[in-house]
Amino acid sequence: MWPQWMNMLSWWQWAIMAAIPPAIIALYFLKLKRLPLEVPSTYLWQRSIEDLHVNSIWQRLRKSLLLFLQLLIILIAILALLRPGCRGNKLIGERFVFLIDNSASMRATDQDPNRLDEAKRRAVQMIDEMHSGDVGMVVSFADTARVEQMFTDNRRSLCRAVEAIKPSSRSTSLGEALKVASGLANPGRTSYEESDIQTAEALPATVYILSDGRFDDVSNFSWGNLTLIYLPIGQEEAANIAILAFSVRRHETRADKLQAFARIENFGTDDVSLSAVLRLDGEVIDAAKIDIGGGEVEGVTFDLGATDSGKLELSINSHDDLEIDDKAYAAINQPRKAHVLLVTPGNEPLELALATPLANELADIDIQSPDFLNNKQYQTTSQSGGYDLVIFDRCAPKEMPQANTYFIGAIPPGEAWKAAEKVDVPNIIDVDPAHPIMQWIVMDDVLLHEGRPLIPPAGATTLIDTHAGPMLVIAPREGFEDVVQGFMLIENAGEGDEAGIYARTNWPIRPSFPVFVFNLLDYLGGGQRATAAGGVQPGQAVVIDAPASAAKASGKKISVRTPSGKTISLKESRPGRFNFTDTDEQGIYEALYDGKSFLRFAVNLFDSTESHIVPRKAFEAGPTAVEGQSGWKESRKEFWRWLVLAGLVILLFEWYIYNRRVYL
């Protein structure tokens, strides 16, 4: 361990410092004053000196002892000012929070045996260095933070808590962990009418973040009493090749065929050649050789042919430092048609659009008149999740169904949605092509006769905007989505002879309309899920709808089989809906109803932040950047006290010599 130096003085101070030794030497040689002393006779002294002149060099050296000592003191002072220190194990403060990252990237094996174990080892090392009376807390964090051990001075339980931290496959969020830490160090305030008074005494704490820094910067964080010390774990040269995306889609032209797409990124700097192997239900069905340059991304496509269902696994033989992202999974589900209810007093253009073969492939469409809304069957089916999508044409239910909805020329019940007064000929000025519903939709040739600009609830996305206001808006609602259209397609209007069906827009006769209807069915009807369920990331919740066959049955029993074969029973969170959160494991999960698999979904890492495993040198937390400390910079062992002590001892020695004549 070589000392590390810290400069404590500016250049002019150093200049003064550097001038001292020559000054001492100059003073010494100038010998400004020998103290005159009158003695009875120099007779004996002269004779003594004569004897000593023989070995005058030694005498001179001996005489210079004081000079040497003075120079030594100055040297020591200079050394002390350089603040030498070395990687010490001294912890600063009395309260410590050990934030240990156990996200997916911490599984990287660039450190032996892996980063998490290295982080744990260092945490244990630091806990060992705690003084008695110091308290520590252990928090593990990935996408969420978990207090493994509350503040305690029991080092053994702290170490046990550290040892108990298990690697996860989750992404990382430091903000959560910092919130936990700051909640204890910066206790909340209680508001009184006139002033803020702190309810508890703030307790300063030192937070040691043992992580590879692969997380997003935390912006809205105030340090308060916390001192953040970031100890990066991992090697700078860590290389990784990751599958960042893997999905299965229907062939663009041949709908009966499936295609698998994968995106592979090389996070290292070297060019790599590797092979990707695709397995269906464990059988190798395809392989590809991929060359990826350093820092580049490659895409691979596999033609699957006509595959109804199965579990797809793509693996690459990258032999890199992080294994978890070398495999990706995708589930192909039995095509399941969406269950769509159209409630309309009669809407020929819409019914035509829903009757196209493609639309029929996606959904079974049930067309009912508005009276059906009062029917008991509707009420039970809609409230138990029997429909995937309900389209309300110029009518509205009393209660929103447990399904996605599409309102045409009507406003959903309740306070959330509102509409302004009717506007004549609103000009379409914008569409949102980024939204899946509006894909491939061109509205340039569409004219609107009239419409009511919508006032959507918060979180809504405007799909069609007119000069008067939004005319087509999508907004989320408790896990469902509602699309509301402010203009009617057709209207039964007129009186007497003029009574009849009037078109309120020319959209139905434009090519974009059937495409829109198809998108709508595809997006809101759950068509996407039917072919190949897009995966979720580890730790994320999955919403599972009970199969239509189970909708009417009461006491539904839904369970999920994890990739490792464990079966977990689910509880209904809402009629027909189940939430599954135990998605820590990567792989394909199967949702079972009565022991039969009806839905598969894949859990994949697919996180470029996690896969990019080169540890970050610094990150930003709140207003300040937190620099990674190669050692424990803050906990370095300082030598300057010892140097000052040595200087004092030498000073004492010099003083003693000067006074007691104990020269060499």
Q: Is 44 in the site for other proteins (CB under 8 A)?
A: yes
- What is the radius of gyration, based on Cα positions, of the chain? 38
Name the helix (H) or strand (E) containing 279. Answer: strand 272-280
- Taking each helix axis as running N to C, give the angle between helix 115-128 and helix 155-163, from 0 to 180 degrees, rounded to the nearest 10: 180
How many residues belong to the site for other proteins (CB under 8 A)? Answer: 30
Pairing of strands 85-86, 637-638: antiparallel
Nearer to other proteins, 59 or 383 (CB): 59
List the one residue from 5, 7, 23, 42 that touches other proteins (CB under 8 A). 42
> Does 659 engage in binding with other proteins (CB under 8 A)?
yes
Closest approach of other proteins to the CB of residue 653, in Å: 15
The rounded distance, in Å, linking the Cα atoms of 289 and 277 is 9
Q: Give the nearest distance from C-beta 651 to other proteins in angstroms.
A: 17
| Binding of other proteins by 663 (CB under 8 A) | yes
The 3-state secondary structure of 206-247, one letter per residue? EEEEEECCCCCCECCCCCCCEEEEEEECCCCCCCCEEEEEEE
Can residue 39 be called a binding residue for other proteins (CB under 8 A)? yes
Whether residue 570 contacts residue 544, with contact meaning beta carbons closer than 8 Å, is answered with: yes
Compare residues 38 and 421 and give the one whose CB is closer to other proteins. 38
Shortest distance, position 646 Cβ to other proteins, whole Å: 24
Q: Which is nearer to other proteins, 642 or 656 (CB)?
A: 656
* 133 contacts other proteins (rule: CB under 8 A): no
Looking at the Cβ atoms of 57 and 664, the one nearer to other proteins is 664
- Tell me if 398 contacts other proteins by CB under 8 A: no
- Does the protein bind other proteins through residue 652 (CB under 8 A)? no
Task: Rule CB under 8 A: say whether 355 interacts with other proteins.
Answer: no
Strand, coil or helix: what is 475? strand
Indicate whether 434 belongs to the interface with other proteins (CB under 8 A).
no
Q: Contact with other proteins (CB under 8 A): which of 11, 31, 273, 434?
A: 31
**How crowded is residue 500: how many other Cβ atoms within 10 Å of its Cβ?**
10
Candidate ranges 57-65, 246-254, 377-385, 625-633; the one touching other proteins (CB under 8 A) = 57-65
Q: Does 37 bind other proteins (CB under 8 A)?
A: yes
Q: How far apart are the C-alpha atoms of 540 and 538, rounded to whole Å?
A: 6
59 versus 152: smaller Cβ distance to other proteins? 59
30 belongs to the binding site for other proteins (CB under 8 A): no
Minimum distance between the CB of residue 13 and other proteins, rounded to whole angstroms? Answer: 32
The residue among 44 and 509 lying less far from other proteins, judged by its C-beta, is: 44
Nearest to 223 by CA among 206, 211, 201, 210: 206
Q: Contact between 49 and other proteins (CB under 8 A)?
A: yes
CB neighbour class for 573 (10 Å; exposed up to 12, middle 13-18, buried from 19): middle
Please, which residue, 33 or 156, has the CB nearer to other proteins? Answer: 33
Does 34 interact with other proteins (rule: CB under 8 A)?
A: yes
Of residues 53 and 156, the one with the C-beta less far from other proteins: 53
Q: By CB under 8 A, which span of 30-38, 396-404, 414-422, 621-629 interacts with other proteins?
A: 30-38
- Residues 343, 368 contacting (CB under 8 angstroms): yes
DSSP classification of residue 585: S
> Helices marked H in 355-404 — which ranges?
357-362, 376-383
Strand order in the sheet with 226-232: 145-152, 135-141, 95-101, 205-211, 226-232
Does position 192 bind other proteins by CB under 8 A?
no
Distance of alpha carbon 438 from alpha carbon 463, whole angstroms = 7
- The footprint of other proteins (CB under 8 A) covers 31, 33-49, 51-52, 59, 62-63, 658-664
